Structure 1
Amino acid sequence: MTTPADTAAAGPIPDVTVITGAYNSMPYITRSVTSVLEQTIGTDRLQILVINDGSTDGTGAELDRLAAENPGLTVIHQENSGGPAGPRNVGLERATGRYVFFLDADDYIGRETLERMVHLADTHGTDVVVGKMIGVNGRNAPTSMYHQNLARTDVFSSRVYWTLNPMKLFRRELVEKHRLRFRPELRVGQDQPFTSAAYLNADGISVIADYDCVYWVKRDDGGNNTSVTKGTAPRIRFLRAMFELVGEYVPEGPRRHHLLARHYTIDLPHTIRQLRREKNASDQREAFQDMRRLFDEYYSEGMAARLSAVERLLMELVRRGDLDDLLTASKYHKKLGDREAEHLTENGRVYARFPFFRDPARNIPDEFYDITDELPIPFRVGRAELDPATGVVHLAGKIKAPAPGGWSAPPEMLLRQRGGIVEHRLPLTVAESRDDAGYQDFRLDIDPATAGGGEPLAEALWDLSLASGDANVTRFGDRNNQGLAKQPAMHAAPKHAGSGQVVTLYAIRSTGHLTLEMGEIKHHAAKRFDVAAQPVTRRDELVVDVRATVSGLPADAVRLDVEGPAGVVASAVAHPGKAAGATRKYRARLRLPREARKHRDDFTPRVTVRAGSLAWTVPVTPAEPAPADAGPPAGRNIVTVLRRLAARK
């Protein structure tokens, strides 16, 4: 049964078809549907389809009630299909919107979500829009892909592949061109092949990171689909589907390894956990052999290079067909157990004493236990400053080789784009001498104008890490950087890019780790200009003081304007005071024109700050005039003041 109608009435093509599959979703379904009905884009621009998949808890009745009150909501009742894929595919067959958005019945969306997504896709011509997710009720939402807005990206230059649920905006033309549908034969991960194929066929992917788009709810009864599906076999079938899909689109090499790393590091531990829980030994052995056949096809040396030592060991045990040994060793994986291994240092290398280390009965090579290249690099921060005169970052301190054998590769500072895969390496200047603890002095100057391989750094968040080779990577910064956490250092550097750029060096409050921000992504220069207006004088003179905590501003950077109905009627360049580090004070004064004096409510003062092509506007709130008995204004003729005081007696 379908309400209010089996087919949509003829009319304008909606911008978005929102599709929700619901099965025993009380009481969550009410909030989920309401969040769609309250979208700022307006229900007249939406087609809202909710498919009741044979619910038995009152979900169907609640949906009918909502549909009766909201003509824009269409409810489709059907027999239970056994999973979320069926209802979603039904919705796709009925969709008429330019875009489709899938929303789970447990979850809900922010009021501006669809309006923002459609605007972004229309503006940049992208086929998929990924919106920031927020975990609710203890559910852990992915975060690595939401560090900054991205107008256009792809799965190879960002972390979007690490979120494969379908609660995103998809261009319907893309979906229909490639006949993308959900896989009902998969009991786990029915949505991931759909999203993955959409990503890989998309003409651009956009990311919204500055607005909470999707609220991902953990049900109180634990009834989320992924939580209730048990068994190893469904997970292996899902992994095979994903490996085959990636293999179809991406040839063997680093790009394939980048995508498959997501499944090896996230989905494989879940599969091994289920394997440990199998109660039937025959089922467990059969599932293990299926896993072995899968990895024989897709595991490679290039893939192994992206994994940790314990992950490589687990894969070696799978390859050998050692089920009991795999279950024993899996307890040392950080996501599968709480066992910690002791270390052996030998000939300059460090080995973890994971199970079966140098066991003659198994003869597993030492390379599967070698964690030398995974050890953190010990360091001490001595200096971390953004030069207020040049915008160059000055770093200095002490570092120590992580292994007794010394540096496996020359130490470098790694600038890694947060949420992406782009990175730049800058060599450190390291003293040859060591102190008694083995530390060496180092220094480095990072010029944002050249740090991007001789080019300006791109607009992004660049996390700073110490590196020695590809695996020894340690985030740089410590609690001694709390000054940069409370007050990030900001520099206006128009020379660093053709359109101008703001450079900010800041520390993460919880760890002190340092990040170099190119562009106003998290920190905004307009908030660094404190504007204070003095009371308008009797000569109708407006005086404004500006305190700027942005370095790199030219002497004539600050201007005071008075704007009326016909535009700017008066302007004055502020006079700069002496700079104290990154702080400089400016004072601007101008006499209000006659028309502004007569109709002050029609005129607005504002401060404009310019640095090359960069510009910020800060509103000015004129101070209230001083009360009549507040005393004489500064600078008034003392004789005049005394005469007026005498006249009052």
Structure 2
Amino acid sequence: MSAESSVRVSVIIPAYNAMPELTRCVTSAREQTIGLDRLEIIAVNDGSTDGTAEELDRLAADCPALRVIHQENSGGAGGPRNTGLDHARGDFVFFLDSDDYLGPDALRRMVAMADENGTDIVLGRIASVGGRAVPRAVFQHNQPRTDIFSSHAYLTLGPWKLFRRSLIERLHLRFPPYRNCEDKPFTAAAYLNASGISVVADYDCYYVRYRENRSNLTLIAGDLVHRMDGIRLCFETVARYLEPGPRRDQIMRRHVEWELCGPLRGLLPRENEKDARERFFPEFRHWARTWVTDTIVQRIDAPDRLLIHLLRADRFEDVLTVARNAKRDARCGHLIDKGRVYWLHPFFRDHTADVPDACFDITDRLPVRHHLETARWHGGVLRLTGHAYIEDVDALEPATEVVLRKYQSERPEVRVPTTPCRAARPLPGEGRYEQSGFSAEFDPATVDDGAPLERGLWNIYLDVRAQGVSRTVRFGNSREDGETTHPPRRELTTPEGEPLVVVPYFTPYGNVSLDVGQVAHPLDAPCQVTRTAWHPVRKSTLVVGGRLADDVARDGRRLRLRAENGAGAVREIPVRYGPGGSRDFTARLPVGRLGEGRWTLALIMESPDGEGPYRTAIVPRFGRLAGTRWFRFGRPYYAKPVAQGPAAALGLEVAPVKVATGVRRRLRRGWARLTG
């Protein structure tokens, strides 16, 4: 084994009667491309009786990086994981269950992501073997740096992640001694204190599978008696690290849906009535009254809202009835009344049940199905065609509108009526939605009450309406195969004679947006940006360097670096050229003087006489540019680079650092220096 400082990852494998899957599991760790000289593999045999101990010793005989620890059975995966943590020396820890295995390049990619972005936790894409359910939402695309409030990361609380070990030790984190749900409080505490989370979504890092004998603990220890302690600790962990308010509600909602309502509906009816009434129901009722705020109730689905209402009201018999009949009642129809859609559950408007209508309102939960057929220019007019309907609401009296909303701006939205027509393709529902087709046309130079759209990024939504019911959704992520490329840029002229450049494009999520007046065609760009970096001394100053294009001479033309936010505020800085007529230039933008919000950067060159049209070039988002922090009026601020628009233009998100977050980071760094 190399020196302790060279160990990047400690792979911890808890193993109990893990044959025959164990061999592939350990082999996948041994064959990691990061190299055995950068790894230590700690396999903990938790009192196995099936040959697991002997297999581990055999595998360790020719692998110095593999260390085997034998201990008495602890009854769950948390005990051997804790043993592994007590012996771990790596910069990072990865928990690998003995029935699963790693992709060959998994750890190298995950460590590189953490190193490059300074994050404490890295999620690698999880693949299913044999039909075991895996999370998908968080792995739609790579995320170099995110958090649990702006991503789907919190939906996956399994321990199969790369954790920075200093985070675990700073929090004194260990797994509680439960047979089920022991991993969720551990991962939740780490998430809630992490300095950034990364997601590797372009590679299958972790393969999960059921054992051949179906002896996974999640299957054999799945009843309520094995879950209650872990569920309770989930709620207490969130409450410990988050103050009451919107952020806590956002995270608590996950536990309300998955750890409270899910087991209540699926497991409580399986218990004998005495245990269900006296042992489990009082605890569920306590959680509903203590942790489920009215805000959470408004955001969860109608079946969960109904259960929470009955729990709070201490109606055990009704809770049991609703839980037992959940599958049957899920197929009940609905009622449209005054623009709202209600679930026709047997308790709905039954005066003897005494449940408010709000518990059955499903209007905002009905899926909206929409499809983009074409997005094409006709002269200076952009024409959109497609179909859109609200599921389970017949497309009668359709009145769908296209809605244009400027990104990161409070200005009023722009609405464009559509012309209804028959859908261009057969749709499900036996004709219920055949009138859901539409077409919409608008000229960006005049669409805003005769005025042009303001410069900036505009997102396109649909306000889908039928029978008085209205739902608004982003538009474009489902479209014809022929519409996989965005329409070409279009140069328009406003009623005042001003030039207007409009670039339609599809976002990384596939939705339609417009870049108005900001991005020029690459052939028209006056210069090329070659680097972006923070000033080595003035941390709040961004340095942008580049070179004039071959066809551009410095004949009196002024090149300026422009920062513009969604509200239209602009700050411009002239560039400085190199000596001797050099076409190389540098601009220094004092980001510390920008206001809060998101700013997009571009280089602007005007004609020699100052009268002609501008030429523009984007400042691209280079992958290695990290964020920065500084103090302003005694308060810490930060700027985080983000990519915007069709050409991944560099944007800067500027905001004050939350004091509590800053204190936690300083404490963590101080602890790392003391221990490291």
Pick the TM interval, shorter chain.
0.5 to 0.7
Query: What's the secondary structure of 1:81's corresponding residue?
Result: coil
- Pairing 1:430–2:430 present: no
Corresponding residue to 1:216 among 192, 208, 212? 208
Q: Which residue of 2 aligns with 1:124?
A: 117
In the TM superposition, what is the alpha-carbon distance from 1:440 to its structure 2 partner?
7.3
* Structure 1 residues 229-260: Cα deviation after superposition (integer angstroms, max 9, x where no partner): 13224333222211111112122222112212
Q: Which amino acid aligns with 2:482?
A: G
- Pairing 1:515–2:511 present: yes
- Pairing 1:354–2:345 present: yes
CA distance in 2, matches of 1:167, 1:423: 41
How many equivalent residue pairs?
A: 504
Q: Which residue of 1 aligns with 2:55?
A: 62
CA contact (8 A) 1:85 1:191 kept: yes
* Residues 455 and 92 (structure 1), Cα distance of their counterparts in 2 relative to 1, 3 Å cut: farther
Q: Which runs of 5+ in 1 are unaligned?
A: 1-7, 494-500, 509-513, 520-550, 558-571, 574-610, 617-649
Q: Which amino acid aligns with 2:416?
A: T
* Structure 1 residues 302-342: Cα deviation after superposition (integer angstroms, max 9, x where no partner): 11121122221121122222233223334675xx5674112
Q: Which residue of 2 aligns with 1:38?
A: 31
Q: Which amino acid aligns with 1:488?
A: T
* Residues 110 and 287 (structure 1), Cα distance of their counterparts in 2 relative to 1, 3 Å cut: same
Q: Which residue of 1 aligns with 2:241?
A: 249
CA contact (8 A) 1:376 1:474 kept: no
- Pairing 1:554–2:523 present: yes
CA contact (8 A) 2:403 2:460 kept: no
Q: Which residue of 1 aligns with 2:661?
A: none
Query: What's the secondary structure of 1:554's corresponding residue?
Result: helix
1:304-315 superposed matches below 5 A: 304-315=297-308
- TM-score under structure 2 normalisation? 0.64
Corresponding residue to 1:284 among 276, 299, 302? 276
Q: Which residue of 2 aligns with 1:78?
A: 71
CA distance in 2, matches of 1:310, 1:453: 44
Q: Which runs of 5+ in 2 are unaligned?
A: 423-433, 491-501, 527-549, 552-616, 623-676
- Pairing 1:324–2:325 present: no
* Structure 1 residues 413-467: Cα deviation after superposition (integer angstroms, max 9, x where no partner): 59999xxx999995531259999969876557899xx9x997548xxxx996656
Query: What's the secondary structure of 1:268's corresponding residue?
Result: helix
- Pairing 1:372–2:355 present: no
Q: Which residue of 2 aligns with 1:180?
A: 173
CA distance in 2, matches of 1:110, 1:357: 50
CA contact (8 A) 2:17 2:49 kept: yes
CA contact (8 A) 1:145 1:160 kept: yes
Corresponding residue to 1:100 among 84, 90, 93? 93
* Structure 1 residues 105-128: Cα deviation after superposition (integer angstroms, max 9, x where no partner): 111111111111111211221111
CA contact (8 A) 2:10 2:39 kept: yes
In the TM superposition, what is the alpha-carbon distance from 1:280 to its structure 2 partner?
1.7
* Residues 346 and 16 (structure 1), Cα distance of their counterparts in 2 relative to 1, 3 Å cut: closer
- TM-score under structure 1 normalisation? 0.66
- Pairing 1:272–2:264 present: yes
* Structure 1 residues 24-81: Cα deviation after superposition (integer angstroms, max 9, x where no partner): 1111111111111101111011111000001111111110100012121100011100
* Residues 381 and 15 (structure 1), Cα distance of their counterparts in 2 relative to 1, 3 Å cut: closer
* Higher mean displacement: 58-67 or 338-347: 338-347
CA contact (8 A) 2:125 2:200 kept: yes
Task: State the superposition RMSD in angstroms.
Answer: 4.8
* Higher mean displacement: 434-443 or 102-111: 434-443
Query: What's the secondary structure of 1:35's corresponding residue?
Result: helix
* Structure 1 residues 451-492: Cα deviation after superposition (integer angstroms, max 9, x where no partner): x997548xxxx99665689993557459762323xx433769
- Pairing 1:505–2:510 present: no
Query: What's the secondary structure of 1:140's corresponding residue?
Result: coil
Q: Which residue of 2 aligns with 1:483?
A: 482
Q: Which residue of 1 aligns with 2:230?
A: 238
1:457-496 superposed matches below 5 A: 466=463, 472=471, 476=475, 481-484=480-483, 487-489=484-486
In the TM superposition, what is the alpha-carbon distance from 1:277 to its structure 2 partner?
4.3
- Pairing 1:144–2:137 present: yes
1:378-397 superposed matches below 5 A: 381=372, 383-385=374-376, 395-396=384-385
* Structure 1 residues 577-612: Cα deviation after superposition (integer angstroms, max 9, x where no partner): xxxxxxxxxxxxxxxxxxxxxxxxxxxxxxxxxx86
Q: Which residue of 1 aligns with 2:196?
A: 204
In the TM superposition, what is the alpha-carbon distance from 1:345 to its structure 2 partner?
3.1
Q: Which residue of 2 aligns with 1:585?
A: none
CA distance in 1, matches of 2:294, 2:120: 34
Q: Which amino acid aligns with 1:300?
A: T
Q: Which amino acid aligns with 1:554?
A: L
* Higher mean displacement: 363-372 or 47-56: 363-372
* Residues 379 and 235 (structure 1), Cα distance of their counterparts in 2 relative to 1, 3 Å cut: same
CA distance in 2, matches of 1:59, 1:464: 56
CA contact (8 A) 1:488 1:506 kept: no
In the TM superposition, what is the alpha-carbon distance from 1:348 to its structure 2 partner?
4.0
Report percent identity of matched pairs: 39
In the TM superposition, what is the alpha-carbon distance from 1:268 to its structure 2 partner?
3.2
CA contact (8 A) 1:153 1:206 kept: yes
CA distance in 1, matches of 2:411, 2:102: 37
Q: Which residue of 2 aligns with 1:294?
A: 287
CA contact (8 A) 1:309 1:369 kept: yes
* Residues 149 and 282 (structure 1), Cα distance of their counterparts in 2 relative to 1, 3 Å cut: same
CA distance in 2, matches of 1:317, 1:254: 24
CA distance in 1, matches of 2:378, 2:621: 19
Query: What's the secondary structure of 1:71's corresponding residue?
Result: coil
Query: What's the secondary structure of 1:357's corresponding residue?
Result: coil
* Structure 1 residues 339-370: Cα deviation after superposition (integer angstroms, max 9, x where no partner): 41122333443322112122222211122122
CA contact (8 A) 2:371 2:386 kept: yes
CA distance in 1, matches of 2:454, 2:225: 47
* Residues 476 and 201 (structure 1), Cα distance of their counterparts in 2 relative to 1, 3 Å cut: same
Q: Which residue of 2 aligns with 1:29?
A: 22
Q: Which amino acid aligns with 1:489?
A: H
In the TM superposition, what is the alpha-carbon distance from 1:157 to its structure 2 partner?
1.1
CA distance in 2, matches of 1:316, 1:183: 31
* Residues 26 and 437 (structure 1), Cα distance of their counterparts in 2 relative to 1, 3 Å cut: closer
* Structure 1 residues 127-172: Cα deviation after superposition (integer angstroms, max 9, x where no partner): 1111111111111210111111111111111111111111111111
Query: What's the secondary structure of 2:14's corresponding residue?
Result: strand
CA radius of gyration, larger in: 1
CA distance in 2, matches of 1:415, 1:232: 47
1:411-422 superposed matches below 5 A: none
- Pairing 1:194–2:186 present: yes
CA contact (8 A) 2:476 2:512 kept: no
CA distance in 2, matches of 1:423, 1:147: 29
CA distance in 1, matches of 2:339, 2:394: 5
* Residues 615 and 16 (structure 1), Cα distance of their counterparts in 2 relative to 1, 3 Å cut: closer
* Higher mean displacement: 234-243 or 8-17: 8-17
